[in-house]
Structure 1
Amino acid sequence: MPPTLTGSRVPRRTAGAVGAVALLALGAAPAGAADPEPSLVLGRIAPIHGLRPDSGFTVPTSFTNTGTAALDKVWMSYSVTRGLAHTEVPSNCSRYEITDFDEEPSRSVVSCEFDRTVRPGVVYAPERPLALKALGHALYDELRVTVDSIETGPGDGASEPVRGTGPALKLVERPAETPAAGGAQASGWSAATVKVTARNTADFQVSGARLKGRAGDTVPLVVKFTNAGPGWVLREIGAGATRIRLRMPAGTSVTKTDGFCKSLGSGTYECGTAQAWIDEGGGGTYRFRLRIDKAVPGARGSVALAGQPRPFDINKANDTADIVLDATGAGSTTGGGLPGTGSGPALPLAGAAAGVVVLGAGAVVAVRRRAARRR
């Protein structure tokens, strides 16, 4: 069952809480202490699997006012990740875009205002499900549905909302449906994140390198990881999209390591990605510097995909590549080399210190943004 997130609006309650403390200090009860609290609970929304790319679909949604008082108005929002799109925006709804930030991928949001009475204990639903579409690069996506008793703004990193032009979407009662059960704590909003998958593939691939130098030289090593598509890949937030494992050629030692890589010992390194997603055509470039300690005939290392399973990647032939070193006898202490070869766009990555700061700060900021922005 998809998780339902609820919580109180601390900023709106701060003043009331302070006032209540002051009244209690004077021996008086706060006038609003017995006022009913709004409580909204979304009905269950099942995961959606097996969509065809470039096909439309709908998601029925409903909610119940589990509080003790009627509401004059509610808002519902539908937020989708970049493999999905809204195909209609009713006139009582607005659409805006949220760019990717820290550990959160970009999203498109349609927020609808329903100006009608919402009575306690009654199930309500939009008269028709909002129409959505799986795009050509859809693979692993998310739909987040929110119902709220107050209007919340788009928040940081969002575009200006644009009012829809389609026929207005009405909210209707569903008396035949069983009301959703209220949680342990009443809350004026409820949200659910729904997994959406498409029957698509994504070709993760790596490129190797051919190096040349003399014993004593220090040469650059550049290898690349690319998602050749057609699908983009979104993993669990907080985890990398994939991992890359490098084994250095015999007779070499690493003098400089890429910021997203760590040593596993014995000349082996493992590298991660900056985010939990990789767009189609995106990827990463990993840069090292190797010292040729001695010339070893036929010295050869490797670069390979590692980490989480990749059931979407059906082409295994490009999951590994060679790092070939042509080394000769003693030479200078510095020298050149041939950079790694390969094709496809690359995503520049920062150095070690910057990588640690970005990843660490990103996790903190992402948590703060998720707490502040419901959709």
Structure 2
Amino acid sequence: MRRHIRTRAFPAALGLAAAAALAAAGLGAAVAPALAADGAPLTVAITGENRVDLSLQGDNGDPSEPQVTLRLAAPGSDEPGDDGVIPVVHHGDYKIKIDASGLKGVAAVKLPCGGTGLTAVCTGDEINAGEDYNRLGGIRLDTTDESAAGDFGSIEVTGEGEGVSFTPLTIDVLVGGPEFLNHELAEPKGFEAGDTYEAPVGFRNAGGMAADGAVLRFHGSRGLDFPDSYGNCAYKKTTDGPLLRQGTDAICTFSGSYEAGEAYALAEPLKVATADFALLDIVNYGFSAVAPAKAKALLDDDGYTPGTGAPLTLKEAPGAAPADYTRYAELDLPTGNTYDLVLTGASAKGGVGDTVDAEIGFRNDGPGWLSALRSGGESIGFTVEVPKGATVTKAPDGCRFTTIDEGVKGYLCWVSTPLLEDAKLSFPFELRIDKVVPDAKGEVALPSWDNPREPNQSNNTAWIVLNGSDDGQGAGGSSDGGASASPSPSASGDTSGTSGSSGTSGDSGSGGQGSGSSGGGLALTGAGGVLLIGGVAVLVLGAGAAAVVVTRRRGTA
């Protein structure tokens, strides 16, 4: 959502005295256009996409969305100052002319600023610093019945105004140029964590023209690696920062001509090694048509290390079926690994008025990690009942007071994902004993679910035991009475965060989208209380009672 930012009523070049004089005169005189410090006109660039490729396959994006957004980029920052104001660096009438006559017979054009046909004029009298708040409008382009492969034209965008010099923009439009679709990926039958996947990487030129050169980009998330190193590729491995963004990226360049309608494949499969902890990790790749001169610059990108082996090469793939190719090629890998979530309880003894500690443990015994790459790092929830006769005086930051079931009060605690394969977290509670109840128990539990990725759910329940008959803690079974304690005024009401540390703090970034075929993983939405496990949604905590709703969710990790 765009912030509502005030802009200054006077150009930044005006001093306080000049602004006061104008205000005293009631702005009866026109405000002079801003000039650069040396008296030269202010230089403002017209910005937007400078290249649009239109597909003859009809895949040119949402018809209601423009491919080009025109803006004016002026000197200065578009970030507001402490007063919430973005300066106006130019006052004075100006015109921006859009001439798309070069696209006549090439493509259909929809122009901004009320333009009809192939021309439009945008007008204004103020330009803000920076670019963000100087939006002129969007240009939408589509093919027509007259469009043919190889049709080419340009849109010229120019500007004029007193005291301002506009840098023009040229937008080149190519119809039916090279258009690469990627060979689909599929997990081999019986594939397991620790195995190496030989990915059938390749592309088909579905466009109307040959391509001079090609570039391959591929990515593997944290549990995947690419054991081979190729001389025409460069690699970047990210091992720190948010887990959602860790993994390996690579760029490979290929020279040569790649003909329209033909398919090509790597001379050897791309090897993708999976770690023992890998589970629903993501591998994806994509080819694009990039000329060799531009492709070389990609290998010099900051943070990439050149490969050391022989070059990776492409070969023709005669007889390839067009149905085997898609725009986005990605795969969840492997899908058959498992994890084991474990809850541990606590026991304590004390008299009336005593405050005791109860530290709840949460860990993953693996072997798989909870990548949560498709759910974007949503959280896992578990509940903690308060034993009879006790009141929680201090709850962990990651827990909040709630109604667990009808007549049962307690806490809902959250664990952020991704969750490492050996994660160990603690949730320390403090309880005041208001009444000594022998063997008072409070259940600590994850919701029950039918989840093949956690086959052992016997350790998903634990207990807080106060004044037990022995020093051990109860195991399994139902508690001997629901908890009815109310929260202490000092108890935490925070609904987010994780107690302890596993290096797995949630990240809102998306780890990938597309046609992944996994059945799902484990994720709990932070706001609605819906636990998504293997495609089954469990409404963990409703208004007083738990309810179960079964749905299908494809591609949740």
Query: Which bin holds the TM-score, normalised by the shorter protein?
Result: 0.7 to 0.9
**Which residue does 1:248 correspond to in 2?**
386
CA displacement 1:15-40 (0-9 Å, x = unmatched): 699999622237x9726665235532
- Report matched runs for 1:204-215 at 5 Å: 204-215=341-352
Return the alpha-carbon distance in structure 2 between the equivalents of residues 225 and 263 of structure 1: 19
Return the alpha-carbon distance in structure 2 between the equivalents of residues 70 and 209 of structure 1: 69
Shift in Å, 1:213: 2.8
CA displacement 1:318-373 (0-9 Å, x = unmatched): 2222211129xxxxxxxxxx9x9xxxxxxxxx9937739xx99943xx25x979xx
- Return the letter of the residue paired with 1:215: V
RMSD of Structure 2 on Structure 1 (CA): 4.2
**Which residue does 2:155 correspond to in 1?**
30
Q: 2:443 aligns with which of 288, 302, 306?
A: 302
Return the alpha-carbon distance in structure 2 between the equivalents of residues 69 and 271 of structure 1: 57
Judge conservation of contact 1:20–1:29 (CA < 8 Å) in 2.
no
Return the alpha-carbon distance in structure 1 between the equivalents of residues 351 and 264 of structure 2: 75
- Return the letter of the residue paired with 1:234: S
Judge conservation of contact 1:70–1:119 (CA < 8 Å) in 2.
yes
Shift in Å, 1:86: 1.1
Given the superposition, is the C-alpha separation of residues 14 and 89 from structure 1 closer, same or farther in structure 2, using an over 3 Å criterion?
farther
Shift in Å, 1:75: 1.7
Contiguous gaps of at least 5 residues in structure 1: 184-189, 328-337, 341-349
Max Rg structure: 2
Contiguous gaps of at least 5 residues in structure 2: 1-58, 74-94, 100-118, 122-152, 157-170, 474-491, 499-503, 514-557
**Which residue does 1:291 correspond to in 2?**
432
Q: 2:494 aligns with which of 348, 352, 356?
A: 352
Return the alpha-carbon distance in structure 2 between the equivalents of residues 181 and 139 of structure 1: 25
Q: 1:274 aligns with which of 416, 433, 436?
A: 416
**Which residue does 1:142 correspond to in 2?**
282
**Which residue does 1:347 correspond to in 2?**
none
CA displacement 1:167-199 (0-9 Å, x = unmatched): 21112222311235999xxxxxx4332111265
Given the superposition, is the C-alpha separation of residues 237 and 121 from structure 1 closer, same or farther in structure 2, using an over 3 Å criterion?
same
- Return the letter of the residue paired with 1:250: K
Q: 3-state SS of the aligned residue for 1:193?
A: strand
1:191 and 2:328 correspond: yes
Higher RCO (Cα < 8 Å, 6 or more apart): 1
Considering fraction of residues, name the structure with more helix.
Answer: 1
1:260 and 2:398 correspond: yes
Q: 3-state SS of the aligned residue for 2:366?
A: strand
Judge conservation of contact 2:401–2:493 (CA < 8 Å) in 1.
no
**Normalised by the size of structure 1, how large is the TM-score?**
0.73
- Return the letter of the residue paired with 1:125: A
**Which residue does 1:175 correspond to in 2?**
318
The count of aligned residue pairs is: 331
**Normalised by the size of structure 2, how large is the TM-score?**
0.51
Aligned-residue sequence identity (percent) comes to 27
Return the alpha-carbon distance in structure 2 between the equivalents of residues 222 and 119 of structure 1: 66
Given the superposition, is the C-alpha separation of residues 81 and 195 from structure 1 closer, same or farther in structure 2, using an over 3 Å criterion?
same
Judge conservation of contact 1:124–1:172 (CA < 8 Å) in 2.
yes
Given the superposition, is the C-alpha separation of residues 6 and 33 from structure 1 closer, same or farther in structure 2, using an over 3 Å criterion?
closer
